Amino acid sequence: MMKRVCLAAVLFVVVLSATVLAAEKGTASATMPTLRQAAGNRMLMGASLMSHELDDARRAAFIAEQFNCLTPGNEMKPDALQNVKGKFTFERADKIVAFAEAHGMTMIGHTLCWHNQAPAWLFMDENKKPLPREVALENLRNHIHTVMEHYKGRVKGWDVVNEGLDDSGPYLRDTPARKAIGDDFIIKAFQFAREADPDAELYYNDYNIEANYKRPKALRLLKELKDAGVKVDGVGIQGHWLIDNGNIKEIDEGIKAFADLGLKVMITEVDVDPLPRRQGAGADLSATQREGLDPYKAGLPDDVQQKLAERYRALFQVIMKYPQIQRVTFWGVDDGSSWLNDFPVRGRTNHPLLWDRNFQPKPAFRAVIETLQQSSVAK
């Protein structure tokens, strides 16, 4: 009898502590599973983050609770890892990898070759002229080898080349890498990556490649890689989508085109922007212009919340059709940490993710959870 009373008391304390802990984290929900729970084994649920976000214990606990996959938002880019030639600085990226390992999360590396956030010396001389091909190739090879060997066995897959395709031009973006090396810089980057870690998955990552205007360029690139004997494991469709644009069918067709090639498809940087877009909107706007472009400073009105939720639902309904999609990564954790607060206009109050600035789930979160659950039931 005494034993039973003790057991009941212990159970009570355990349940109480779990409830208090969850309440402290501010994430407890009696009815809703977490994102990673709802996705189960069907696909990874990822987020991008910056290493300093892990210094906030509540945020760190929230990230580990909701997601099972991490991508560093900036810490694995060339300027973060090798801003000065030959001087590798892994500390901030290591911190994210250690956190992922401590919480049983999968790590994705982003990115080994990109025209942004890359030091000039990689592909240019001191006069900003392209380096000779062999010198540029050796810089690229050494960067890729050193980084991938450092993370061997700890990073599941890499965005080897990011945004190598041109939006308006006929094919490749005319980056410093292309100017120095030539059109085969993407092939070379994949070859170096395969040599450096034969077990890592290698992805080509870009935005809008699911869209009609850019998809043919991506398909051409993937074919050229294949013809060159380069094995690409998957394609990363970034997924920086807008609330208003009605292109669900186009997105569906885009995913299908890549899946039909026998490639894994990752949706790598998801957010849905509910703010008005204006081409060329710089930071030097008048107060009135800024007011019109920043309409939800006090919060997202209910009707827009619903619209955002339905947009997320429609996107996830498409995503769940494809077993080739093995990961969805959101670009940021909560609305407060989204890059879209500063793009294309700096200092706006944006609301593109599933949780608000206080980690409260939005209707979009419920829509995503419901879609994930319905799809797992249907299987």
3-state secondary structure the chain: CHHHHHHHHHHHHHHHHHHHHHHHHCCCCCCCCCHHHHHCCCCEEEEEECHHHHHCHHHHHHHHHHCCEEEECCCCCHHHHCCECCECCCHHHHHHHHHHHHCCCEEEEEEEECCCCCCHHHCECCCCCECCHHHHHHHHHHHHHHHHHHCCCCCCEEEEEECCECCCCCCECCCHHHHHHCCCHHHHHHHHHHHHCCCCEEEEEECCCCCCCCHHHHHHHHHHHHHCCCCCCEEEECCEEECCCCCHHHHHHHHHHHHCCCCEEEEEEEEEECCCCCCCCCCCCCHHHHHHHCCCCCCCCHHHHHHHHHHHHHHHHHHCCCCCEEEEEECCCCHHHCHHHCCCCCCCCCCCCCECCCCCECHHHHHHHHHHHHHHHHC
Among residues 22, 33, 42, 74, the one that binds ligand G3I under rule CB under 6 A: 74
Among residues 210, 269, 334, 335, the one that binds ligand G3I under rule CB under 6 A: 269
| Binding characters for ligand G3I, 333-352, by CB under 6 A (x = yes) | ------x-------------
Q: Is 374 one of the binding residues for ligand G3I (CB under 6 A)?
A: no
Position of minimal CB gap to ligand G3I = 339
Q: Is 83 one of the binding residues for ligand G3I (CB under 6 A)?
A: no
Residue 163 annotated among the catalytic residues of the structure? yes
**163-182: which residues touch ligand G3I (CB under 6 A)?**
none
Q: Is 238 one of the binding residues for ligand G3I (CB under 6 A)?
A: yes
**24-63: which residues touch ligand G3I (CB under 6 A)?**
none
CB 74 to ligand G3I: min, Å: 5
Q: Is 376 one of the binding residues for ligand G3I (CB under 6 A)?
A: no
Q: Is 208 one of the binding residues for ligand G3I (CB under 6 A)?
A: no
Catalytic residue chosen out of the listed positions 163, 210, 253, 291: 163
Q: Is 90 one of the binding residues for ligand G3I (CB under 6 A)?
A: no
Residue 269 annotated among the catalytic residues of the structure? yes
Residues designated as active site: 163, 269
* Binding stretches for ligand G3I (CB under 6 A): 73-74, 116-117, 162, 238, 269, 339
